[in-house]
Amino acid sequence: MPPPLRFSSEVSQALNSGLPVVALESTVIAHGLPRPQNLELARRMESIVRECGAVPATIAILGGEVKIGLTADELKYLANTDGVVKVSRRDFSIVAVRKTDGATTVAGTMIAAAWAGIKVFATGGIGGVHRGHGADVSADLPELARTPVAVVCAGVKAILDLPATLEWLETAGVPVIGFQTDEFPAFYSRTSGLKLEARADSAGEVAAMIKTKWEMGLEGGVLIAAPIPEAAALPASEIEAAIEQALAAAEAQGVKGKAVTPFLLAKVAEVTGGRSLQANVALLENNARVASEVARELA
Ligand code: PSU
Ligand code: MN
């Protein structure tokens, strides 16, 4: 049985009247972006979803309670509080018992969205298989294999092993749909050289693919990969040096477990300065737009 969910009034009204709702994650706010850009971005994503005719549901855990839609104050609190637990599948019961605050990852947000009946979710980059650490596989991947939520992302950051991540998704039967692209995008860059089997050119086409999968009784999610807008894209070469540096630092400092991804994200942001942050914001905004259109088509 799902835990009790606390809906914001905006989200509960939207769900009751069948309006399109887009889930948004909170790990990117609490662990993925520096302050104060994290709060600015969280607010911006919510307003974009509204401008696009859907209702945003930022998902997080406050005092052990699963919140579907945050108030302005809750969002601010989450963005500015230290020690918020990063919550994937394994962590839900722990934070519930301890009544602590938690920020949901892509995996955690998918689970809560599915409990709430939300079908579409916008994020920046999902987790994946880590470079040189084939056993370090993000909990986001098995979640995509089992939980029926469509996730819009800009691919994965090259801190990860992109080919291995795509192989994992193929094995697990997760459709990866390129949104107006034939290639898996690489977060900061529009291309990766990795071809996708499926491409959709409109939100309607994406929605049809999602709907058809679920009507067939095929369990699990769908990954929609929308490349970063051209104007905001960074050359792969510029980012690669920063990533190498970040990976070396993580290795040297012996960073392990759930700390690895936040560590790498912070290091890359530090080394590339404002440029990577700007790109990050642009692609998140774009994904909020694409997800809203898909949610409208599905509604
Ligand atoms: N990649 C990013 N930014 C992020 C994350 C990944 O570019 O903020 C976050 C997401 O919340 C994702 C999580 O679900 O990191 C994956 O963490 P891990 O690799 O520990 O599963
Ligand atoms: Mn990991």
Query: For the chain, what is the mean pLDDT?
Result: 97
Write the CA distances from 278 to 96, 123, 125, 229, 241, integer angstroms: 35, 15, 15, 12, 18
Residue 60 sits at the vertex; the CA angle it makes with 256 and 130, to the nearest 5 degrees, is 25
Considering every ligand atom shown, identify the ligand nearest to the alpha carbon of residue 141 and give its number: 1
Q: What is the mean pLDDT of residues 32-59?
A: 96
Length of the chain equals: 299
pLDDT of residue 94: 98
Residue 276 — very low, low, confident or very high, per pLDDT cuts 50/70/90? confident
CB-based neighbours (< 5 A) of ligand 2, an ion:
136
Say what the pLDDT of residue 274 is: 79
- Rounded to an integer, the average pLDDT of 272-288 is 91
User: What is the residue-wise DSSP string for 251-263?
Assistant: HHTT--GGGHHHH
The pLDDT tens digits for 3-28 are 999 999 999 999 999 999 999 999 99
Provide the greatest CA pair distance for the chain. Answer: 53
Q: How far is CA 5 from CA 11, 118, 134, 238, 297, in A?
A: 12, 13, 35, 43, 26
The confidence score (pLDDT) of residue 247 equals 97
The CA-CA-CA angle for residues 198, 200, 206, to 5°, reads 105
pLDDT at 283 over 90: yes
Segment 23-49 shows an average pLDDT of 96
Q: Pick from 137, 239, 261 the residue to mutate for probing ligand 1's pocket: most ligand atoms within 8 Å of its CB.
A: 261
Residue type, 123: T
Helix residue ranges per DSSP H, 117-235: 140-146, 162-172, 203-215
What is the 105 CA–ligand 1 centroid distance (Å)? 6
Do 26 and 78 touch, CB atoms closer than 8 A?
A: yes
For residue 182, pLDDT beyond 90: yes
Q: State the pLDDT at residue 277.
A: 86
pLDDT in tens, 236-275: 888 999 999 999 999 999 999 999 999 999 999 999 887 8
DSSP H stretches of helix in the chain: 9-16, 27, 37-51, 72-80, 92-98, 106-116, 140-146, 162-172, 203-215, 236-252, 260-272, 274-298
When pLDDT is cut at 50, 70 and 90, the band that residue 137 belongs to is: very high
Q: What per-residue confidence (pLDDT) applies to 205?
A: 98
HSE-up (13 A, CA, CB side) for residue 31: 22
Nearest ligand (C-alpha, residue 135): 2
- The helix/strand/coil state of 234 is coil
Closest among 22, 185, 131, 1 to 176, alpha carbons compared:
185
d(CA 144, CA 141): 5
Q: Which of 22, 45, 24 is nearest to 280 (CA)?
A: 45
> Which entry of 67, 86, 157, 213 is annotated as an active-site residue?
157
Mutate to test the pocket of ligand 1, among 25, 27, 283 (most ligand atoms within 8 A of CB): 27
Does the annotation mark 267 as catalytic?
no
Q: At what angle do helices 260-272 and 236-252 cross, to 10 degrees?
A: 130
Whether 25 is a known active-site residue: answer: yes
Give me the pLDDT at residue 35, please: 95
Q: Is 233 helix (H, G, I), strand (E, B) or coil?
A: coil
Query: What local confidence, expressed as pLDDT, does residue 259 receive?
Result: 98
Q: Give mean pLDDT, residues 26-33.
A: 97
Gap from CA of 140 to ligand 2 centroid (Å): 10
Calculate mean pLDDT across residues 32-52.
96
Higher pLDDT, 33 or 277: 33
The pLDDT tens digits for 138-156 are 999 999 999 999 999 999 9
**142 C-alpha vs ligand 1 centroid, how far in Å?**
14
Look at ligand 1, atom 16, and give the residue with the nearest C-alpha. 127
Phi, psi of 121 (to 5 degrees): -145, 130
pLDDT given at position 30:
98
Number of the ligand closest to the Cα of 138 = 1
